[in-house]
A and B are shown apart, each in its own frame.
Chain A
Amino acid sequence: MPDVVQLLPALGIVVVAAPLLLTVVLGISSLIGRKLSEESTTKLGHATIVCGLLAAVAILGIMLAVDERHIPLPLGDWVVIPHHYHFSVKFVFDRLSVPFAILSYVLSGTIGAFASQYLHREPGFNRFFVLYAIFVLGMIISSLAGTIETLFTGWELVGLSSALLVAFYQERPAPPRNALWIWVVYRVSDASLLLAAVVMHHLRGEGDFDRLLGDSPWPEEFSSLEPNQALFVGLLLLFAVAGKSALVPFSGWLPRAMEGPTPSSAVFYGALSVHLGAFLLLRISPLLDLSPLLCSFVVVLGLMTAIVAHLAGSVQTDIKSALSFASLVQVGIIVTEIGLGLRYVPLIHLLGHACLRTLQFIRAPTLLQDYRTLENAIGEHLPHGQTGIERYRIWLYRWSLERGYLDSLLSEYFVFPFVRAFRWCDGMERRWTDFLSHGPSRDSDQVRSPSGGIDELA
């Protein structure tokens, strides 16, 4: 069936181009101030997602039919310095990327349909769908990425759109504040991903995964790196994974992300975004095979996350936080499984978990009715459990209620010294400029923020 195989590049391009088209159309129409109507946005969204999904499914079908397990789709180099460096845009279709891309399409397509109803007449309808398009694009690029630079692009798009979606209700103070927290966590972990890319270039002269990780199809690749190199690159990547997948110690951002509208929290944090880290681990799994130490780090991190999330989740009193910690438990387990050397199990686990959790998130507001139905069926009030071991119960309860103090630890031992150091620098600079200008040197110090009474609130 050579004809069919020749179709693959074209299909591959459709998979990537569909969300790109959506992003470009929605983005440009918003930029030039001609927002599409709700109806055309919805239709366009449906059409592009369905196209991309069909193409991805077709690729899966062909791959299964012709037993082709690794299809690279190079789109050319962006930068080439012969013999030293090249920066190529390349996508890879294999047993890891295609299922993940299909999952992304199915879930984001369903959520897109949901959101087009749910956000009907919402002032930010257009903004939501622009960010949604960027998100889908980011997911598809990261899942199909064949080089670390391509992956980084998608990774950044996902991070950017997620943070902006958390800050969707920008007129209230809490969403932007929480979005900023998430943004900072993302930036810090992205810096680590970037470092990893630099290191990979340094080691191999390029960021292509097949050069770094060996060119046999996933998951049977074998990397020719030294174990120490693998450990170093792997740790950098693990840090990036921890940020993206809300592993310990970054877990605190996940409930903070619940500020956006329900569909965005469902798809981004319950289902897709939070699994991206685990996906990256699967992608670089040959590195794990090289370094048992790295594997043990992964296992420990995964288990810690699962335990923290389980304990924190069991005392959460709002449904979205409870669900987000429940998600995190499974992400932790998936990461653990990867650390233990499993490959297909975590992939299947990931796919199943994403679907289940999306359904639960989407149905979250209906919880009251669900509880009533359950109570009526059971015939009594639903039972309530208690945490942990009697002796440490109270201590543990507080620890869980405060989500393992993870956010506090980060603020007190990381953010606070950091901010203080820079404030100190600022203070020195101010002294210096004041000295130079013989008096207060900053006009901005004098300006008070205008605050209006109720009279002006109109």
Chain B
Amino acid sequence: MFESRELRTQQPDAESDRGSALDLLSETIEHASHLLPAQGPITVFIHHNTLHAFEKLSFGQAVKEAAHVFGCHPYLSEDQYRDALRRGRIRFGHLQEVLERDLEGRTDTPVPCFGTRLKLQLAMLEDPQRTGPAEELVWHVAEEDALRRIRPEVSAVVRARLIAETRRWVMRDLRGGSDPGNGDQQRSNLRASANAPQSLKELLERFDSDIENWSDNEWEGFTLHALWRVCCEGVRDLPAFIASPPPPIRHRDLLLEATGADADLLVNGLLIRFVAAFVDQGLASSEMPLRDEGFLGAFCTIYSQPFGSPDRWMNGLAQDLGRLQDRRISALESVRESLQLLGVPPDDWRKFISATFLPLRGWGGMLHQIEQRGDRAVRPVPAGSLVEFLAVRLLLDKYAAAHVARNELKFVGPLKELRESLRARFDGPARPSVEQRAFQVFRLAQVSGFSPDVLCRLPADEWSTIVREIESFGGLERRRIFHLAYERRFTEQALDAVSIHSQQHRGRTAAPAFQVSCCLDEREESFRRHLEEIDPRIETFGAAGFYSVAMYYRGAADAHFTPLCPVVVRPQHWVTEEVADDQAQLHHWRAKTRRALGEATHRLHRGSRTIASGTLLSGFVGVLATFPLVARILFPRVAARIRRRLAHIVEPPTDTRLLMERCEATTGPENGHIGYTVDEMTATAERLLRDMGLTSNFARLVLLLGHGSESLNNPYNSAYNCGACGGSAGGPNARAMAQIMNDPRIRDGLAQRGLVLPTETVFVGGMHNTCNETVVFYDRDKIPPSHQQEFQDARTAIETACDRNAHERCRRFMSAPLTLSLQEARRHVEERSEDLAQTRPELGHATNAITIVGRREWTRGLFLDRRAFLTSYDPTQDDAECSILTRILQAVFPVCSGINLEYYFSRVDNYGYGSGTKLPHNLASLVGVMDGAASDLRTGLPWQMVEIHEPVRSLFIIETTPAAMINIMDRNEGIGRLCRNGWVQLAVLHPESRHISVFHDSDFELYEPQATTLPQAASSVDWYRGWRDHLEFSQIGSGSEVSQLPPSP
């Protein structure tokens, strides 16, 4: 991924060309910075591919490379896959298919004893491979049953044969039972006997007492001893087949290896404190002085003060920093200087700088993000901060390395030579020991039933082939194959389900009772399914949750504008919520009260941490804190109700409207510039309706629902919100779009553009809280009386759907009994959102695995288990260029694959790629969380969010033709890269024939369904009840009682 060749060609010829050396350096740093996590401040959590920097590579290569760069797991552990194999989650047949495809015709490469490579690899997949340090294996072999009992996995038949063959061989050949009659035989005996290594003969001597009366157990022990010795002999003189990893590049790693002392411990503690103070967005009560001077400037001034820290390792740092300041040495020059002093030649820069960034990659990445997206931070940092961070890091690394080397190794030479001298000590990682190699063959030989006799006779080159084949199919490779089979099983089930179900496609609902549009979020899948089950005349749609209204929004009680749109979009419009004139007085009064209360609270909050007010507070009113403490922990719901009631007194009045229409020509946050023109609104409305394919057959009532999530004690709250609204709640967008749609001028405009909305159709905006499962509606007073009854009916249906949805969600919560009633389930989810002690207020996007873009008709009635993103799109209304599909996919691909891949990586290595368990998390600088009081900033998702996630790459099923999809992939680099490099799995459903084609390598292949029927269930609850784990797809209800429009052509 890093164009190393390109970099090398630009190498400076000599020191003379200082400028170009600095250019190269800055370019190198720029490249290395791509490795840093791209997560911004946690208040706006945007899901993205954790390995975004590796997207140019294919998925398999990328995860492997990243595993070496970051030291993180690319897949689940082999044990987890093997467990899946036992449970039937992975099919053995799929393993074989995947292997055949992977070996591409090299399946029949012969391997002695095992037959073919395919057979060997299958045997290795089927049988748990164990290895470990040589000492551990020796201990295992010597102390445990490994040399006494044949492995329990070995079948009785193989075991008996193994012993019998050995016995025969020992009695006939090894012991040299003589046959005086036949000279030839005699010679071959001798040969066999001579072939048998010395160690076997010793073994026989040790055992050889009364051999003819040995019990079965003794023969078993002897067989294993002989097998072990033969294996050890066989592998003894083989060369290494796998290139050993290069020695570490950083001084710290070499020193750690040599002495066990960690130089990073010294540096990290200091640097974490400093960088946290530098990026602090307002947590500390006093701000860092001289922050404006930039990272390096502030560091130099602060750390060059006299009478500083007594730490020995920093001796001389103050003078060094003073020199940097006096001579006005730039950050880049300082980096170059440090690299020189550390003895790192330009050839090593790229690797060395990447490796230097990685120990504090979370903090480095955050600095980089705030540097680049200053618009999203309260206190932006100046450009170039990352380079300055690196400069400081290298300065400190220099002192720490010198200190450790001096203390532990008595190294006093120039620092330049430290690395060489350490590498010289480093005799390279030992190649696999005899025991390690023998052990694998030893175990495989038992399950495959190879007796010592057979192995003993193998010539050296065949041993070499066997060991090479075994070693080249190492743990990572096996896990890759397992993973492909793991995904394959799910893909097959999903494609079968869609393929069978879409054949029974019934067309749109003829006379819809009302229509509901939700976000494409996979958490809304069950909500929509339940709505459709409650009344089959309800029609649902899915669209990106910002409803095409990309805006900066400020609510009546908000202090600032929030961008409500996907993060890639920079909004051009500003919208505010205004309080109705008759309530302006009240609003003003309440706002003043809120302000006074807020200031008082803030003062209390700060005051409790100072000497004087803290003493007064804790002395006089401290004991009163017991009441909220006990109430909130033991009675969270009551406490929440009281809190809400109190808050209600000062909340802004409910009678508000959105200021949508603009009078000035330009947009902006000031009065008069807020809002859209009628034309702009018309264009937005048209775009949304055409995207959803809702251009005809309108119901009298159309509900647009945004979504958000509310929970307590949860720094990750934003990650549960609407991704299409930039990690905020999407209610205002739905409200804005409903307001636009209801405007008669816009209806006229739409009609002129060929989109006629019946006058009796009314839009209502609302918001679905995915955590406590409530739906609120906006501007209810604007609903005409003629529609009030329908609205009430719709609300009743929505409430019922909320109950059922809560119930379905509860099956996944281990703390919710499976026997909950609908009402209890609703209460349970409400309590979760109000409980301070709840670490899993909801499960977020966990279990997402499918992304569907197409008409709802062919997924309606299919139980997708809250695992599918559902975007509505009607290919029959699209043009030949598929321009509608293209713009939908431009949003869907980054958003859905981003969510899916972030969950994938956070799940396969929760500590490395994710942020580990949430419990010790500590909010730092208002930008992220640390583990404890001083750690790297933890990026990615916590364990509590991904616990039940099944890490598979998202399966995109798009309703279009293969040719059209290829065309889109060609024209959109981002989409093409994700598909071609296998970061998503792609399939298309032909709009007419309803055949599925699966994208493989570079082309689509027609998919042959493997099943002919799907399980049927009367209702969703009938299918999921009593079950906590993932469920298979099924068809829910029949739905035939409702008249349907004929399928569109």
Does the CB pair B282–A117 fall under 8 Å? Answer: no
Tell me whether A438 is interfacial, beta carbon within 8 Å: no
User: A408 and B310: CB pair below 8 A?
Assistant: yes
Chain B's closest residue to A364 (CB) is B923
Residues of B within 8 A of A356 (CB): 608, 617-618, 621-622, 625
A397 CB within 8 Å of chain B: yes
Question: CA–CA, A365 to B602, complex, Å?
Answer: 17
List which B564-583 residues lie within 8 A (CB) of chain A: none
* A447, B138: Cα distance in complex, Å: 15
Contact of B310 with A317 in the complex, beta carbons under 8 Å: no
> Which of B79, B311, B947 has the most chain A CB within a 10 Å cutoff?
B311
Contact of A408 among B309, B814, B919 (CB under 8 A): B309
Please determine whether B633 and A318 come into contact, CB atoms closer than 8 angstroms. no
Residue of B nearest to A378 (CB): B598
Query: Is there an interface contact between A115 and B837, defined as CB atoms closer than 8 Å?
Result: yes
Question: Contacts A258-B933, A366-B712, A456-B475 given: A329-B839 contact, CB under 8 Å?
Answer: no
- Contact A118/B919 with A318-B283, A323-B609, A333-B615 known, Cβ cut-off 8 Å: yes
B residues near A401, Cβ cutoff 8 Å: 273-274, 277, 302
- In chain A, positions 342-385 with a C-beta closer than 8 Å to chain B are 345, 348-349, 351-360, 362-382, 384-385
CA distance in complex: A113, B245 (Å): 50
Count of interface residues, chain B, beta-carbon cutoff 8 Å: 116
Contact with B along A153-166 (1 / 0, CB 8 A): 00000000000000
Where chain A touches its partner, the secondary structure class is helix
Task: Enumerate B773-796 residues with CB–CB distance to A below 8 Å.
Answer: none
CB of B285 closer than 8 Å to a CB of A: yes
A352 to B276: give the CA distance in the assembly, Å: 32
The verdict on A318 contacting B73 (CB below 8 Å), with A310-B611, A357-B618 known, is no
Give the residues in chain A near B649, CB-CB below 8 Å: none
Asked if B276 contacts A317 (CB within 8 A), the reply is: yes
Query: Is A67's beta carbon under 8 Å from chain B?
Result: no
Known A118-B837, A262-B920, A398-B303; contact A412-B310, beta-carbon cutoff 8 A: yes
Contact between chains at A317 and B284 (CB < 8 Å)? yes
From residue 136 to 163 of chain A, which have CB atoms closer than 8 A to chain B?
Answer: none
Give the nearest-CB partner of B135 in chain A.
A450
Q: How far, in angstroms, from A125 to B691 measured CA to CA in the complex? A: 49
The answer to whether A222 has its CB under 8 Å from any CB of chain B is no
* A256 contacts chain B at the CB level, 8 A cutoff: yes
B559 / chain A contacts, CB cutoff of 8 Å: 375-381
Tell me whether B919 and A318 are in contact (CB under 8 A): no
CB distance from B557 to the nearest CB of A (A): 6
Q: Is B20 part of the contact surface with A, judged by Cβ < 8 Å?
A: no
Q: Say yes or no: A377-B629 contact (C-beta < 8 A), given A256-B933, A345-B619, A401-B273.
A: no
* Given A262-B919, A315-B286, A456-B475; A378-B712 close (CB under 8 Å): no
Residues of the A chain whose Cβ atoms lie less than 8 Å from the Cβ of B282: 371, 381-382, 384
Indicate which residue in A174, A317, A352 contacts B935 across the interface (CB closer than 8 Å): A174
Q: Are A375 and B931 in contact (CB under 8 A)?
A: no
B198 within 8 A of partner (CB) = no
What A residues does B839 contact at CB under 8 A?
Answer: 117-118, 120
Given A315-B284, A355-B629, A356-B622, CB of A120 within 8 Å of CB of B919: no
A208 in contact (CB, < 8 A): no
Give the residue of A116, A118, A353 whose beta carbon is less than 8 angstroms from that of B618: A353
Give the CA-CA distance A454 to B42 in the complex, in Å: 29
- Contact between A381 and B378, CB atoms less than 8 A apart: yes
Residues of B within 8 A of A324 (CB): 933
B922 pairs with A319, CB closer than 8 A: yes
Q: Does A221 contact B (CB under 8 A)?
A: no
| A376-B622 in contact (CB<8A) | no
Q: Is B78 an interface residue (CB 8 A)?
A: yes
Contacting B at CB under 8 A, from A73-111, are: 106, 110
Are A353 and B622 interface neighbours, CB within 8 A? yes
By a CB distance below 8 angstroms, the chain B residues around A375 are: 559-560
Cross-chain contact A385 with B920 (CB below 8 angstroms)? no
- Residues of chain B lying within 8 A (CB to CB) of residue A318: 276, 283, 922-925, 930, 933
Are B932 and A175 touching (Cβ within 8 A)?
yes
Whether B289 is near chain A, meaning CB under 8 Å from some CB there, is: yes
Of A263, A326, A333, chain B has the most CB atoms within 10 Å of the CB of A326
A87–B771 CA distance with the chains assembled, in angstroms: 58
Q: Tell me the bound Cα distance from A179 to B632 in angstroms.
A: 30
Cα(A357)–Cα(B617), bound, Å? 11
Stretch at the interface among B3-11, B163-171, B713-721, B842-850: B713-721
Checking A322, A348, A449 against B284 with a beta-carbon cut-off of 8 angstroms, the contacting residue is A322
Q: State how many angstroms separate the Cβ of B942 from the closest Cβ of chain A.
A: 11
A255 at the interface (CB under 8 A from B): yes
Q: Output the least CB separation between B293 and chain A (Å).
A: 11
- A422 at the binding interface (Cβ < 8 Å): no
CB <8 Å contact, B712 and A330: no
Nearest residue, chain A, Cβ from B276:
A317
Identify the closest chain B residue to A39 (Cβ): B815
Q: Is B131 an interface residue (CB 8 A)?
A: yes
> Which of these, B288, B629, B917, contacts A358 with CB under 8 Å?
B629
The residues in A between 274 and 319 inclusive whose CB is less than 8 angstroms from any CB of B are 306-307, 310, 313-319
Q: Are A113 and B634 in contact (CB under 8 A)?
A: yes
What are the residues of chain B within 8 A of A168 when measuring CB–CB?
920
A456 to B73, CA, bound (A): 10
Bound CA span A314–B607, Å: 11
* Residues in B whose Cβ lies below 8 Å from that of A382: 282, 602
Interface residues of B in 918-958 (CB under 8 A from A): 919-926, 930-935, 947
- Please name the residue on chain B nearest to A311 by beta carbon: B286
Measured between beta carbons, the chain B residues less than 8 angstroms from A452 are 133
A260 at the binding interface (Cβ < 8 Å) = yes
Contact (Cβ within 8 A) B77 A458 = yes
Interface string of B608-644 (1 = CB under 8 A from A): 1111001101111111111011101110000000000
Query: Which residue in A260, A329, A362 is a CB contact (below 8 Å) of B836?
Result: A362
> CA–CA, A198 to B616, complex, Å?
39
Question: Is B1046 located at the chain interface by the 8 A CB criterion?
Answer: no
Q: Which of A169, A316, A376, A381 lies in contact with B920, CB distance below 8 A?
A: A169
Contacts of A323 in B (CB 8 A): 609
Name the residue on B nearest A382 (C-beta).
Answer: B282
List chain A residues, Cβ under 8 A from B284.
314-317, 322, 384
Q: Which of A317, A371, A447 contacts B924 (CB 8 A)?
A: A317
Q: Which of B615, B920, B922 contacts A330 (CB 8 A)?
A: B615
Closest to A351 in B: B623
A359 touches B625 (CB 8 A): yes
Minimum CB–CB distance from A133 to chain B (whole Å) comes to: 19
User: Within the assembled complex, what's the spacing in Å between the Cα atoms of A412 and B594?
Assistant: 51
Query: Is B290's CB within 8 Å of the partner chain A?
Result: yes
In the complex, B68 has a CB within 8 A of chain A: yes
Can you name 5 A-B pairs with beta carbons within 8 Å?
A: A113-B634, A317-B273, A376-B557, A379-B595, A380-B559
